[in-house]
C-alpha cells in the first residue's frame, strides 16, 4: 500500500498540520491534528501546527513544503482551505477544491453518485428559508417519505446535527434544532432521508487502493456523535466476507471516481448488502483513537506513524 508513494518526499523539509477551524467538528479536528503532529514528530519531521481559525497569516509567511490536512467540516473540508493552499502553491493532502466541495454538499454528492449507479436512500432537501416553519416542512416531507426518517445538516459531518425521527413530533423538534445550525453557505440546509435499518459499514481508501471494510456495531441503536467519539461500547469488526466487501468497495470506488476524490477517503454505507445505501463520502476522515481508517491500516499491518507519513507523501496540487 504505502510502497506506492515516495516516502522520502518531504523528509528534511518543514511541513505543516492544519487543524482546528471553526466548524461544529472543531474538537475532533484538534484531536486529529494532535495525532498527526505526534506521528510526524516521531518520524523526525520539522512540524508546525496551524489552527486554521487563527493562523492563516502564519501559513502565508511560513510557506511549508506541504500541508497535512486534519480539519473536519466547514471551510477546512469544503474546498475553501484547499483553494487557499492552491493559491499559495503549497501541496496538501486529500481531495482538491471541487471534489471537496461536492463531497461536503451531501445533496449534490448523492445526486452525482446515484447517477452512476451507487444506491442511495429515498430523500428530499429542505433549504434554510423553508425551515422557518418546521410544521409545514414536516407536512411536505410526509408526502414524499415514510417514518422513520433521518434529518441531518447537508454540509455537516461527524454525525453532528443528525436526528433519527420515528414520528412527526420528533421530526418537527429536529427541524427546529437544525434551523439554528444552518448558515448562509449555498450548501447549507437539511437533507432528509428514509432511515435504512441494518448494519453500518465503512470503506476506507488510500489513493486508488481499498483498505478494506469495517462493520460498525454501536452500543445504541444509532451511530451518533456519542457512539463515534465517546462510547467505549461501540464495536468495530473488519469484514472479510467477499460477498459483503465486493459490492461495497465497488460502489465506494464509483462514488470516489464520480466526485473526483483522492488521497485518504472514507465512504459510509448502511443496510444489508442487497439493500445497502451510501450515507456519505468523507474526504478528510478522522484520525483519532476511535477512527476507522487507521483501524483498517493497522489491520493490514501498517503502523499509524507510517500511515501518516505516507499520507503526507501524497500531498499535491491540482494546479501544478
Domain 123-194 has CATH 3.30.1490.20: yes
Statement: the pTM of the whole predicted model exceeds 0.85: yes
Residue ranges of the chain that CATH labels 3.40.50.20: 2-94+304-313
**For residues 240 and 228, is the Cβ–Cβ distance under 8 A?**
no
Q: Does domain 102-119+197-299 have CATH number 3.30.470.20?
A: yes
Measured distance between the N- and C-terminal CA atoms of the chain, rounded to whole angstroms: 25
The DSSP secondary structure of 38-86, one letter per residue, reads HHHHHTT-EEEEEETTT-HHHHHHH--S-EEE---SHHHHSSHHHHHHH
Architecture of domain 2-94+304-313: 3-Layer(aba) Sandwich (3.40)
Long-range contacts, stretch 106-112, CB < 8 angstroms, 24+ apart: 106/152, 106/154, 106/155, 106/191, 106/280, 107/154, 107/187, 107/189, 107/191, 108/187, 109/255, 109/259, 109/280, 109/281, 110/191, 110/278, 112/258, 112/259
- Residue-level pLDDT at 158: 47
Please give the positions annotated as active site.
25, 158, 229, 266, 268, 280, 282, 286
Q: Helix and strand tally (H, E) in the chain? A: 12, 12
Residue 53's pLDDT is what?
92
- Could you give the residue range(s) of every CATH 3.30.470.20 domain in the chain? 102-119+197-299
Give the model's pLDDT for residue 74: 82
Give ∠ CA 101-319-304 in degrees, rounded to 5: 65
Residue ranges of the chain that CATH labels 3.30.1490.20: 123-194
Quick: pLDDT tens for 131-188: 999 999 999 999 999 999 999 999 876 456 789 999 999 999 999 999 988 887 788 8
Strand residue runs (E) in 170-290: 190-194, 200-206, 209-217, 235-238, 264-270, 277-282
Mean pLDDT of 4-21: 94
Amino acid at each position: 500500500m504505502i510502497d506506492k508513494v515516495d516516502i522520502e518526499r518531504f523528509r528534511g523539509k518543514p511541513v505543516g498540520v492544519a487543524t482546528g477551524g471553526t466548524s461544529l467538528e472543531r474538537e475532533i479536528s484538534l484531536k486529529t491534528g494532535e495525532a498527526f503532529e505526534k506521528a510526524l514528530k516521531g518520524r523526525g519531521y520539522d512540524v508546525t501546527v496551524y489552527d486554521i481559525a487563527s493562523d492563516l497569516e502564519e501559513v502565508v509567511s511560513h510557506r511549508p513544503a506541504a500541508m497535512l490536512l486534519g480539519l473536519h467540516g466547514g471551510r477546512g473540508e469544503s474546498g475553501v482551505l484547499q483553494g487557499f493552499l492552491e493559491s499559495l502553491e503549497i501541496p496538501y493532502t486529500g481531495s482538491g477544491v471541487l471534489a471537496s466541495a461536492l463531497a461536503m454538499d451531501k445533496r449534490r454528492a448523492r445526486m452525482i453518485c446515484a447517477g452512476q449507479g451507487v444506491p442511495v436512500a429515498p430523500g428530499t432537501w429542505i433549504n434554510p428559508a423553508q425551515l422557518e416553519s418546521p410544521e409545514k416542512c414536516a407536512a411536505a416531507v410526509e408526502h414524499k417519505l415514510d417514518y422513520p426518517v433521518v434529518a441531518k445538516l447537508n454540509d455537516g459531518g461527524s454525525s453532528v446535527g443528525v436526528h433519527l425521527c420515528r414520528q412527526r413530533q420528533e421530526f418537527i423538534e429536529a427541524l427546529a434544532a437544525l434551523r439554528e445550525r444552518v448558515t448562509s453557505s449555498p450548501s447549507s440546509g437539511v437533507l432528509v432521508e428514509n432511515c435504512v435499518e441494518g448494519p453500518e459499514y465503512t470503506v476506507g481508501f488510500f489513493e486508488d487502493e481499498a483498505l478494506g471494510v469495517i462493520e460498525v456495531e454501536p452500543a445504541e441503536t444509532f451511530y451518533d456523535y456519542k457512539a463515534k467519539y465517546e462510547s467505549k461500547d461501540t464495536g468495530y469488526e473488519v469484514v472479510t466476507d467477499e460477498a459483503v466487501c465486493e459490492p461495497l468497495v465497488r460502489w465506494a470506488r464509483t462514488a470516489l471516481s464520480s466526485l473526483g476524490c483522492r488521497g485518504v477517503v472514507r465512504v459510509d454505507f448502511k443496510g444489508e448488502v442487497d439493500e445497502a445505501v451510501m450515507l456519505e463520502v468523507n474526504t478528510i476522515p478522522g484520525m483519532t483513537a476511535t477512527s476507522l481508517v487507521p483501524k483498517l491500516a493497522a489491520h493490514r499491518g501498517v503502523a499509524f506513524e507510517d500511515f501518516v507519513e505516507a499520507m503526507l507523501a501524497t500531498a499535491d496540487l491540482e494546479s501544478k
